[in-house]
Amino acid sequence: MSEDIGLRSQRGPALLAMLVATFLIGMSAWVISTAIPTIARDIGGFSDFPWLFTVYLLTMTVTMPVVSRLADIVGRKRLLLIGVTVFVIGSVLCGLAWSMPSLIAFRVVQALGGGSIQSLALTVIGDTYRGAERARVQGHIAVTLAASSVIGPAVGGLFALLDAWRWVFLINLPLGILTLWLIARNVHEQFERRPHRIDYLGAVLITGALTLLVLGLLEGGEAWGWGSPTSVAIFVVGALLLVAFVIQERRASEPIIPLALFRRRLVVVMAVLGLMMGGIMVGLTAFAPTYLQVAAGASPIWAGVAVAAMAIGQPVTSAAAGWLALRWGLLPTTAAGAVLALLGGAGLAVFVALPSPWIVAACAALIGAGFGLTTVPGLVAVQESVAWQQRGMVTGLVSFFRTLGQVVGVAALGAVAKAVLEQGQGGQDPQTVQAASGAVFIVVAAFAVVHLAAALWMPRTHLSGRSKPPVAEAVEVALGAPKTAE
């Protein structure tokens, strides 16, 4: 029996620090959405407001792999404190913005800190708790993220109602100071300092490559056509930088991302799961509300509540995922989650002709429940599979691929929806929106199929290190799992 891991335990203060940091980032991702009309009315630039989300997602994506690797070289605590400080500075600057371009620029600063916090908080938890304990602690993280996804829009709506949108950002100042105090006081690490040859060239190449490729995916078909010279140039240069990065990593003594990691099946599976998970989430959160409002005549509040059911399903199964993985094994637990996510994704496509908040809420809850079972055991397993010197990097990669999946999902699903809308009567016609949503949900179901296929390829591992109980062996045999772990 492991010692108590709750907030009142000896390690509770460190866990509290990471939960507050996670809540800080989780809420900032949602709080701005409901305040956009008020912001645009005050400082103008309504046509440019999508860049508030584009630059934030772009910067978060390119920050994660570099910061995660640096955490393995210079330590987690120092970078985490820097990340929170940068996030708070960016938030204050956003609150003082005088125009939409200035707000967009300050969102970049905010996202630099946010990307650091998102990956490093999970890494610190991985350092603080052992494998079996990590599986239980992830339930706390899931509940925190779920709470932030509900509280964030509500707080943003409240400040917008009070005509005080700047506090959407300025509220991060007291929360950030609290986070800094908790981290400085409660997070301790035994870090052995030694000389390093930091791969600066690799960091520059991967940052440049990801910036161009992610920007091309996010803005392709919107700011410029997919086949335009601008789009072609962005993707060609981005691909060339990515090739140069691979060459550099093969020769670097301490690469930013050791390519040998991708020879491990567990890492590859987690990468594919993250990509598909991000795409499924985008399909639900970005397209289902419009589908419900236009096709079903639902109010924005009910449309938001239906989608928020995902945030209810995920923490419930996340809390149980560790227990199940310890008893069943990694493969059966992950596969069960992927089946639930497939049922939810397929349900959206099958019942699209019956637009109803209740149906969408049920599908969203299934998807969230599935993600809870696929995320927690895999993250714990991938953290256990490497030494301390690589734990930050692999944890960051898990977060990176999930964010990258959202980027790919926005591009792919947006192109599908746009093609259908252009052939129909536009975005205000219920039948056209229903047809476009149906096409999007079919792609979401396809993502869920790939998600399940990746889960079935999960290595046969048991988080506790014990021999697998009979039920785990039986389920794995029924699923036809490979007999080797690598």
Chain segment 411-424, per-residue pLDDT in tens: 888 888 888 888 87
Q: Is the pLDDT of residue 44 over 70?
A: yes
Give the model's pLDDT for residue 443.
Answer: 96
Architecture of domain 1-198: Up-down Bundle (1.20)
Q: Whole-number mean pLDDT of the chain?
A: 83
3-state helix, strand, coil in the chain (%, to 5): 80, 0, 20
- Residues linked to residue 220 through DSSP beta bridges, in sequence order: 224
Sign for the pseudo-dihedral over CA of 12, 144, 279, 484 = positive
The fold adopted by the segment(s) 259-486 is: Growth Hormone; Chain: A; (1.20.1250)
Q: How far apart are CA 293 and CA 303, in angstroms?
A: 7
Instruction: Say what the pLDDT of residue 220 is.
Output: 81
Confidence bin at 469 (pLDDT 50/70/90): very low
Identify which of 210-224, 387-401, 445-459 has the greatest average pLDDT: 445-459
What are the domain boundaries of the chain?
1-198, 199-253, 259-486
- Comparing 35-39, 110-114, 279-283, 342-346, which segment has the lowest mean pLDDT? 35-39
Chain mean position to CA 456: 22
The beta strand positions in 323-471, using DSSP E, are: none
pLDDT tens for 167-188 read 989 999 999 999 999 999 888 8
Asked if 1-198 and 259-486 have one fold, the answer is yes
Q: Out of 18-32, 120-134, 453-467, give the one with best mean pLDDT.
A: 18-32
**pLDDT at res. 340:** 96
Q: What percent of the chain has pLDDT over 70?
A: 89
Between 186 and 54, whose confidence is greater? Answer: 186
Range from 30-44, 50-64, 92-106, 352-366 carrying the lowest mean pLDDT: 30-44
How much is the pTM?
A: 0.82
